[in-house]
Structure 1
Amino acid sequence: MKLKVIITGATGMVGEGVMQECIANPKVEKILLLNRKPSGVVHPKVTEILHNNFSDISPIVDQLKGYDACYFCLGVSSVGMKEEAYYAVTYTLTLNFARSLAAVNPGMTFCYVSGAGTDSSEKGKIMWARVKGKTENDLTKLPFKAVYNFRPAFMKATKGAKNLKPIYKIFSFMYVFRVIFPYYFLTLEEVGKAMINVTFNGYSTHTIEAKDIPILAKE
Structure 2
Amino acid sequence: MNTLTAGQTRLVIVGASGMVGGYALRYALDDPAIGSVTSIGRKKLGFSHPKLNEVLHQDFADCSALAEVLSGQNAAVFCLGAYTGAVSGSELRTITVDYTVEFARVLRDSSPDSAFSFLSGSGADPTGQSRMAFARYKGEAEKVLLAAGFPRVYIFRPAYIYPVEPRKEPTFSYRFLRWIYPVFRVLFPKQVIRADDLARAMVNVVVEGTGKTPSMIFENSDIRAMAVSPGTQQGDAANGRI
Q: Select 1:135's aligned residue among 132, 141, 144.
A: 141
Give the corresponding residue for 2:185. 178
Unaligned runs of 5+ in 1: none
Give the corresponding residue for 1:18. 24
CA RMSD of aligned residues (A): 2.3
What amino acid does structure 2 have at the position aligned with 1:165? E
Asked if 1:43 is matched to 2:53, the reply is no
Give the corresponding residue for 2:62. 56
2: distance between equivalents of 1:53 and 1:81?
17
Structure with the larger RCO, 1 or 2 (CA within 8 Å, 6+ apart):
1
Give the corresponding residue for 2:210. 202
Q: Select 2:224's aligned residue among 210, 214, 217.
A: 214
Residue deviations 1:28-83 (CA, integer Å, cap 9, x gap) = 22111001121113222211001111121212211211211111100112316454
Aligned length: 217
State, as a whole percentage, how many aligned pairs show the same letter.
31
What amino acid does structure 2 have at the position aligned with 1:202? T
The 8 Å contact of residues 12 and 164 in structure 1, kept in 2 or not, is answered as: no
Give the corresponding residue for 2:3. none
1: distance between equivalents of 2:164 and 2:31?
14
Per-residue deviation at 1:114? Answer: 0.9
Give the corresponding residue for 1:96. 102
Deviates more, 1:163-172 or 1:145-154: 163-172
Give the corresponding residue for 2:81. 75
* Correspondence 1:121-132 to 2 at 5 A: 121-132=127-138
The 8 Å contact of residues 8 and 34 in structure 1, kept in 2 or not, is answered as: yes
Question: TM (normalized to structure 2)?
Answer: 0.80
The 8 Å contact of residues 20 and 196 in structure 2, kept in 1 or not, is answered as: no
What amino acid does structure 2 have at the position aligned with 1:113? L
Secondary structure at the counterpart of residue 199 of structure 2: helix
Q: Select 2:153's aligned residue among 147, 152, 158.
A: 147
2: distance between equivalents of 1:91 and 1:24?
31
* Correspondence 1:98-117 to 2 at 5 A: 98-117=104-123
1: distance between equivalents of 2:52 and 2:176?
31
Q: Tell which structure's C-alpha radius of gyration is larger.
A: 2
2: distance between equivalents of 1:25 and 1:170?
34
1: distance between equivalents of 2:57 and 2:181?
35
The 8 Å contact of residues 118 and 129 in structure 1, kept in 2 or not, is answered as: yes
Deviates more, 1:129-138 or 1:189-198: 189-198
Question: TM (normalized to structure 1)?
Answer: 0.87
What amino acid does structure 2 have at the position aligned with 1:178? R
